[in-house]
Amino acid sequence: MQLGMIGLGKMGGNMKLRLQQTGHEVVGYDRDPDKADVGSLSELVDALDAPRAVWVMVPAGEATRSTVAELAGLLSEGDLVVDGGNSRFSDDAEHAATLAERGIGYVDVGVSGGVWGFTEGYALMVGGAKADVERLMPIFNELKPEGEHGFVHAGGVGAGHYAKMVHNGIEYAMMEAYAEGYELMEASDQVENVAEVIKSWRSGTVIRSWLLDLLDRALDEDPELAEIRGWVEDSGEGRWTVEEAIRLRVPLPAISDSLYARFASRQDDSPAMKAVAALRNQFGGHAVRPE
């Protein structure tokens, strides 16, 4: 299948390569000319055969809004736009309406997998019309992990990003729980080898997970996490999850507290936040602030 890919950073660039390795033709555009196959969005559209499919993988907010608006003026009836970034679910209806005026379809995709997705596959949470989703299945099938899991058509437009928002809220809480356990053992004189305890949890325990594996990896690389400051950013989805919980009157104490802990990390250094910073760096290549 032929696909246009806009945004060739850590995620978009690796997704392009994964698709190309499985025989798909992917034409890429990025503001960095060294990464791009074409020099503009107009050139990208001209390079694709109709009906076109264009995947947008740029930062949420104005970057995505302006890209979708520009594509609305370049694409034709029957074409399809995919927003695979971390847009807020409430933006999707506006994007879909803008494109629908020109007969252009819209699918939102929450993507999880970080820097490991190239080899392990990307979990895909998809929102949009059934016909549009089915048209993109050759792409989705190559991006997702092997096996029966890792893909869901969650519902109509906005459902994919909503599911990814909740996924990231849960991710916040899980990382915070591991980090708090790490800090408690570090503070105690009962446990002599904290890193080995965490390593032992990777098999046979009810708390084993990929995030735990990554914390073990981080501690192998830096046993005291001495090279990382306990300063952790939040990228938006955690806040949106808490805002949505407030709107729907759903109690989310663990996710809310994990968000507030990130706020606290920017005020005072903390071993727990060092652990979260290390985890974000491990699974997504996110920047850390060195001591």
Kindly report the CA angle at 116 between 30 and 220, in degrees rounded to 5?
A: 130
196 as an active site residue: the answer is no
How far apart, in whole angstroms, are the C-alpha atoms of residue 240 and residue 114?
20
Integer Rg of the chain from CA: 20
94 as an active site residue: the answer is no
Q: Give the single-character DSSP code of 204.
A: T
How far apart, in whole angstroms, are the C-alpha atoms of residue 176 and residue 257?
9
Q: What is the token pair recorded at 217?
A: 């990896």
Q: What is the token pair recorded at 115?
A: 């820097």
Of 16, 142, 144, 171, the catalytic one is: 171
Does residue 220 contact residue 151 with C-beta atoms inside 8 Å? no
Please tell me whether residue 119 adopts helix, strand or coil conformation.
Answer: helix
- What's the Cα-to-Cα distance from 247 to each of 147, 151, 241, 256, 289, rounded to whole Å? 36, 28, 10, 14, 34
Does residue 15 contact residue 117 with C-beta atoms inside 8 Å? yes
Residue 59 buriedness (CB in 10 A; 0-12 / 13-18 / 19+): middle
Does residue 152 contact residue 146 with C-beta atoms inside 8 Å? no
Residue 203 buriedness (CB in 10 A; 0-12 / 13-18 / 19+): exposed
Of 164, 176, 237, 274, the catalytic one is: 164
Q: Which residues are catalytic?
A: 164, 171
